[in-house]
Each structure stands twice: as structure tokens, then as C-alpha cells.
Amino acid sequence: MVNKGVVKPYLKCIGASAVGVTQSCYLVRFQKYCIMLDCGIYQESDILTNYRQNQALLKKIKPREVDWLILHESHADHTCLVPALYAKGCQAHIICPKGTTSYLKVLWEDSCKIMTQDCQKITNKHGIKAAPLYTPDDIATALSRCIEVDPLTQYNLMPNITLTYYPANHIINSCQLSLAMTQGYQRKVLNFTGDIGGKTPQFYLEPRVNLPFCDILLGENTYNAIGRNNKPYDRQKDLDKIIAVLNQSKRTLFPVFALGRCQSILTVLYQLWKDSKIPHDIQVYVDSPMAQKICALYPDDNELWDEVYHWERLQFVPDHVATLTLQNTKSTNPMVVLSSAGMLSGGKSVSWAKTLLPDRNAHIMFCGYSSENTLASKIRFGENKINIDGDVVENNANITELVSFSSHASRDELIDYYANTLRFNKLCLVHGNYENKVEFANTLQDELIKQGKSSRVVATQQDQRIFI
């Protein structure tokens, strides 16, 4: 605690998530304390741009000044720069929801591996000396600083600073958080939704719990665009799409997020197979080392997941040689592959896309969000020729969009949560496309005015300072 303190507490949005949907990172200054909320990686562009964006964020942070680092979930865009802070001498404790640490270990180790490979590619292609931002030793140090906290239980950071987690219904163990800070007779509350799901329960997740009143609400708006709404009948429509595709396609790829989406899709496939809706001889493969590790971590006391995990039609691809064998197989049995990354930003899903895209009989089923300029978005929006790792391939495969599997609340659900359910003085929108966010902020503000509420809505910008 080397800073002299601030007169008025404030929040600063230093990560790219202030204006986009990646690299979540926020600094809270209260008295002489510095509290960091999230520290995620940038992963929306080419490897050189991503690397430079992550370097740029780290330059904004003085790791030795951070007193507490608070995480609300495990996903890479919220957590995977954390070990880099400890590479630079950070000593802070990491506060995270109960059950999170084991998933953080998997994601950090995978991120370190990919980062090392990317740095080598950057050096070879651009002649730029690039070093990984952290090492396995830094991961071990960060993990040793983790403290897990039960949801709905007040945790005292200091006598005058308390933290409470509230289930978010986003991914396993994910939470919203409420940070209460007391100075004399004044009490200021900062709430952070993090990534949140809607009201509908999701597989293996606790239902979302509403946050209490606050002065500042830092709220996600991933699906802020008009038309990004899930309707009750969307799930059945998606199931019908899956059934139709798997009953006529021999090779189908699901690009999935290794944590959350992979397990949800596996569960749906198992249920459809059990109900004889998809071919009985279908073979389902999980070709992602990280997804396999996460599957092994999923709750072993859940009867449904135990059935899925031991499903006779499910196989975990052991290595790269097995991947190549599968990609070249001429088997007549229908084959489904789940592989990460979900946005085709790296991982084995990229090589699978490269293999299947030229095949007019193959299918790629997208089941989650993809940022602009990612490989996934280029495929989804119909570019005829796709550059993958320097090779140009024809975009001939059949593309199917599934809309009901997102772990994020839809636009209408966000409006209902922010305008009708929660109470706050000011809502600061983060984690959403900025252009759409401005319209979304205006829509929310109009709705609040209609209700006679004095709450304000702000479309935050990067490096903006917001007083609490």
C-alpha cells in the first residue's frame, strides 16, 4: 500500500472490455487501497495485436500497489492475465468464488502454453522478440494467493471493506459481486455483474440471485444489439436444427468454449441420443485438452453429468496424432467433434475448421458469441475464401447458427434486470460493443425515466474514471 490515498473513491475502466467484449479489468481506489476487479486477456484479433494489447494493459498497472484482486469467474477474458501480475511482483491475495481455483489452474496453464506458442510465431513471422507474459512458476505463485469465498457470505477484506458474491447463472461457480466500502458515516456500494445469464436455469449452475442496492452498478451488455433476444421457443428450434443436421451429416464441428459451452452441448447431445433423436451409432469426440480437463473437474456428485461423462458414444481425443487420424478418417458412421476455441481464435478448433470448410457435405454449428474480425465471424458471415494460418480455403461447409445456448443474458433479459429488477444510482455499461452500447444505454435511460426513476446510465469508455 504505497499510494497516499484518494479523497473520493473511484472506479477506473482500464481494460478493453470498457468498449468491447474482451480483456475485463477495472481498478477501484478507496482511501489508500487499490482493488482490482478481473484481469483478463485480449483475444479478439491476430496474435501480434492480442499480444500488444495485453502488454499495453499491464503497463497501466503497478502490480505492487494492488492490495486485493477480486475475480468473479474463470473465463480467460476475465482472468488469464492474472499470473502476469505476479511475474511483476504482485503480492495481493486473489479472492474468488468457491470452487473456482481448480478451473483457474487449467485455464492459466493452457493460456501459458498458447502464449508461448504464439510468441514463437510472432518471432518467426514478424522478427519481433516476444516473450510469454508469465511462466508456470508465476501460475503457481498466483494460485498460492487464492482465497475461495462462499456465495451469499460476507467476506471482510478490511473492517471497512466487505465483499459478497451472488450466483450469476453464467458458468460453473460464476458470481456477481457487491463491494461495500465504509468511511466514517458514509457507506458506498459498488456492484459488478460480471458476465450474467438470464432467468432460465442452465445445466449444473445455481440460479441467478439479484444484487442489492448500490451506488454504482458495473453491468455487462454483451448482447446489447437490437434483435439479440432469446425466446422460449428458441431452444426447441435449436434442438430441431441439431437433430436435422446430425441425421444427415457425416462430419459436424461444434466450436465451443472449453468451460461451460462444451459441457452444455455434450449434455444436450446425450439427451437427444438417449431419446433416439440422433443416430444411435453416432460418435462424439471432445478434441480439446483444456475441455477434457474441465470435463474431469465437473461435479462428480451430479447424476446427469456422471451419465454424460461415461456415455458410451463419447471419446476424448488423446493427442495430435489422433486428431490427424480423425480428420482423415473415411468412416461411414456420423461423427461430431467438439473443439475449442469457440471463436476459432486458437486451439484445435482452427485445424478442424480448416479441414471441414472445403467439404460441401460437412457442417459447422456455431453455438456462442463471436467477436468481429475473428475467424468464426468471417465464416459465419459468409466470406467465400478464408485465410487460416496463411492458407486460403474455400468456405463451402454448411453453417448453422444456434441461438439458445449462450451463457449471457439476452438484450430483453438485460433490460428487465437493469430497468425493472435492480436498484442503483448509476449504471456503467461494460463488456459490450460500444456502438451498440450507446443505443442500449439510451434505451435503458428512457425506460428508467418512464418509471420515474432518477438512476443514470453511462456508456463507459476506456480509461474512464467514475466516482463512487
Residues 296 and 240 reside in one and the same domain: yes
pLDDT tier, 229 (very low <50, low <70, confident <90, very high otherwise)? low
- The predicted pLDDT at position 1 comes to 41
For residues 56-79, give the mean pLDDT: 97
Using the 3D structure, point to which of 386, 401, 416 is the last residue of a domain: 401
In this predicted structure, which of 136-140, 187-191, 200-204, 314-318 has the lowest mean pLDDT?
200-204
Find cell 481506489 and name the residue.
29
Residues 130 and 262 reside in one and the same domain: no
Q: Report yes or no on 196 lying in a domain.
A: yes
Residues 113 and 220 reside in one and the same domain: yes
Residues 276 and 316 reside in one and the same domain: yes
For residues 300-328, give the mean pLDDT: 95
Q: Is 37 exposed, middle or buried (0-12, 13-18, 19+ CB in 10 A)?
A: buried
Residues 169 and 275 reside in one and the same domain: no
Residues 27 and 151 reside in one and the same domain: yes
Residues 269 and 364 reside in one and the same domain: yes
Long-range pairs, 296-300, Cβ under 8 A, ≥24: 297/102, 297/103, 297/106, 298/172, 298/204, 298/263, 299/172, 299/204
392 within 8 A of 385, measured Cβ to Cβ: yes
91 pLDDT exceeds 60? yes
Residues 361 and 428 reside in one and the same domain: no
Residues 249 and 367 reside in one and the same domain: yes
Q: pTM of this prediction?
A: 0.93
Residues 397 and 412 reside in one and the same domain: no
341 pLDDT exceeds 90? no
Using the 3D structure, point to which of 373, 401, 429 is the last residue of a domain: 401
What SS3 class is residue 16?
A: helix
CA angle (24 as vertex; 18, 26 as ends), nearest 5? 75
The tally of domains found in the chain comes to: 2
Residue 148's domain spans which residues? 10-226+408-467
